[in-house]
Amino acid sequence: MNIRALLKEPISSSELLANLRSRLEPMAAKSRYIAENMPELVQETIANAEEAYKGMIKLPGTGGVREFVGNPPCWLERRHNDNEFLWQLNRMTHWQDLLEAYSLTQEEKYGRKVIDELLNWIETVEIHEEMIDYPIDYFSKCHPLRALELGIRSYKTWPLVLEHLGHTELFTEEVLEQYLWAVYKQIKILRKVSPILWPQADHNHFLMECLGILTTALYFPELKEAEEWKAFAIDGIERCAAAQLTEDGGQIEGCPSYHNGCMFWFGLAVVLAKRFHFRFSERYMELLRKNLDYSIYSLRPTGKCVPVGDSHANHLAIMGGVYGYMALDDLTWLGLATNLIDTREIMREAGKHVWRALDVPRFYHDLNALQGKRYECDKLTTFWNRTLHQAIIRSGWDSEALSFLFTCRSPIQNFHAHIDLMSFDFTALGKNMICDPGVFCYREDEDRKQFKSANYHSTLLIDERDHFEYLGSFAYGPQKIGEIYNVEDRGFYQIASAYHLNYEPIVHHRHMALVDQRLVVIADRVEGLEQNQVQRYFHLDFTEVEIVPEAVVAASDIANLAIYTYPRGDTELLPGRLSDVNDIARASTRVRFQGTYSGTATFLTVLAPFRGEHLPAVSIRSFADGHYEFDCGERYQVVVKEREMTIHKPV
């Protein structure tokens, strides 16, 4: 193996290793500071490293528990009927704990384990020169050389081998040669196939693949292609920002988990730019700043993001805040997160990224400064992303606030979307009440279909049909227009309105309003019915639910919810599941209101969150042509028209 063939200048392996070491971070100083100041992080890292050392890893398909993957791992084995198992195993994410544990403890076994696995992977996963000319669909299939894995390894885990072990005797000239040949062949392929797979730069995969190309070029500027790779990657990341970061704030796929991931990836690009002395454009930085706000808007008052689309209800808004801080030297987003998330959780989640901080003591000091403070928020409580067709309306920026995310986007952006037109997620009084079910898994199975289906979301169906056809985990039938067309603050109520045509000739309009910061009023107007069944689903994060004469009542130790609706029709409680993380779901309850209607039918629903045993007294009265009145401490008059709902308080 002669690495000189890859280099601009004919230098030796020892010279190349010396050059590389001159570019690495001062890992000894970092690890010493972390060991002295972050004992909980150190303890967790070492515990995880011990499990990884034994070959016990948690992956998609393993049911949320660790599973023995081999020692060394069986890199080519697909388990549990889950492609993600093989893909994520080949991202080597478990190396991060092993490498950090090595730097913290200097125990050779952790570093040796990573080197052994690296060399075993290179031997097992053969990369031939002719692969670069394989059909493009080869690089989307289930094997370790899928384009996304080429990118993720190259920016996220393989560079950590250099940082943590590059200064040590474990990382010999021979290991460097093996590493460089392997990463070179992977990036050579990726540079060709990635722009073919993602010509519009409108997917998070292209962003990560560009990061892999950029990182390799920065660590190894001696490579012949390094300058071209660097220029391509910077331009590609700029194109990703222009194509994916919307003017209203929010990554184009409309999934909060992927959005927060993108804040990491776009922010990490800036961290690399700071470290290796180049800049991204002012426009890029402006879009990054604006889109960081969505990480906070899509955060439930209870502290986890709304899992709309392929998202999990998790704390990844913290990660968005961390990289907002690292990229822009601005604590705003981390500070706002502390209003809704326990500071200990902020410290725990943010601490996972401390190794990427260019100034670890400053990062740690600034994080600690957030404790015990309330961060003042001047952001509006009514948010409308016109590209994503999402509205987020909340009563305030505290954990007790009422908040809902309402979505209606058709045709979809990509297949991370679910069949959830005019669905919503509602939180109140410190309790998740009506919830998006989350992603659960990416497998081609009935679980995936169920979690993506319309009747697992809080929306309206005609004759129990999905809004558009489910063809597979990442495949749908054609879709017609659906959009949120108005979001407005009208004083004592804030409203969002949407419609879709996927049931043509039947048309469905839905209006949602937060009223007096204590109720949510929903009006559904359905036109063109001809003896059709209409189902209205509400997916409750409650297991104690009962149907009483005047309402459906859901109870918990935190807060309760009463659902009043007119006309009510047949009412049924159905089992549901909600998922916060891969492969794990908890029991929930779906409420279905159902009836048969012709012509135009209008339905009014009032969501009344409350505490204690006393049910809010709400009675809905209907008048002609979409006019309603209801009482709940005050009297409200509601008028529902085709594209409008108005609410009045009669004097």
To the nearest whole percent, how much of the chain has pLDDT over 70? 100
Cα–Cα dist 411/391, whole Å:
17
8-state DSSP, 614: P
The answer on pLDDT for 4 being more than 90 is: no
Question: Which residues lie below 8 Å from residue 36, measured CB to CB, with a gap of 6+?
Answer: none
The answer on pLDDT for 1 being more than 80 is: no
* pLDDT score of 375: 84
The answer on pLDDT for 486 being more than 90 is: yes
Mean predicted lDDT score pLDDT of the chain:
96
3-state class of 369 per DSSP? Answer: coil
pLDDT-derived band at 623, boundaries 50, 70, 90: confident
584-610 and 560-566 as β-strands: parallel, antiparallel, unpaired?
antiparallel
The answer on pLDDT for 533 being more than 70 is: yes
Q: Please say whether the beta carbons of 208 and 148 come within 8 A.
A: yes
pLDDT digits (tens, 9 = 90+) for 211-237: 999 999 999 999 999 999 999 999 999
* pLDDT score of 525: 98
Cα–Cα dist 511/427, whole Å:
18
Instruction: Output the CA torsion 231→234→239→242 (10° steps).
Output: -140
What's the whole-number mean pLDDT along residues 314-328? 96
The phi and psi torsions of 305 (rounded to 5 degrees) equal -70, 155
* pLDDT score of 90: 98
Cα–Cα dist 2/180, whole Å:
11
pLDDT digits (tens, 9 = 90+) for 331-371: 999 999 999 999 889 999 999 999 999 999 999 999 999 98
Max Cα–Cα distance, the chain, nearest Å: 87
Question: Which residues lie below 8 Å from residue 353, measured CB to CB, with a gap of 6+?
Answer: 319, 322, 323, 326
What's the whole-number mean pLDDT along residues 390-398? 96
Question: Which residues lie below 8 Å from residue 91, measured CB to CB, with a gap of 6+?
Answer: 149, 152, 153, 156, 157
**Tokens of residue 56, six digits:** 């016990």
Give the sheet arrangement for strand 644-648, strand by strand: 619-622, 627-631, 635-641, 644-648
3-state class of 130 per DSSP? Answer: helix
What's the whole-number mean pLDDT along residues 559-576? 97
Least confident of 32-46, 361-375, 530-544: 361-375
The crossing angle, in degrees rounded to 10, of helices 204-219 and 158-165 is: 30
Q: Please say whether the beta carbons of 60 and 116 come within 8 A.
A: no
Question: Which residues lie below 8 Å from residue 403, measured CB to CB, with a gap of 6+?
Answer: 300, 301, 392, 393, 394, 395, 426, 427, 428
Cα–Cα dist 273/292, whole Å:
19
Its pTM stands at 0.96
Cα–chain center distance at 303: 14
With CA atoms as reference, report the closest residue to 103 among 38, 164, 35, 159.
164
Least confident of 14-28, 548-562, 621-635: 621-635
H helices present in 254-353, as ranges: 256-276, 282-297, 316-328, 332-338, 343-351
The answer on pLDDT for 544 being more than 90 is: yes
Query: What type of residue is 381?
Result: T
Cα–Cα dist 337/54, whole Å:
36
To the nearest whole percent, how much of the chain has pLDDT over 90? 96
The answer on pLDDT for 388 being more than 90 is: yes
3-state class of 338 per DSSP? Answer: helix
pLDDT digits (tens, 9 = 90+) for 252-291: 999 999 999 999 999 999 999 999 999 999 999 999 999 9
* pLDDT score of 371: 85
3-state class of 227 per DSSP? Answer: helix
Question: Which residues lie below 8 Å from residue 549, measured CB to CB, with a gap of 6+?
Answer: none
* pLDDT score of 310: 96
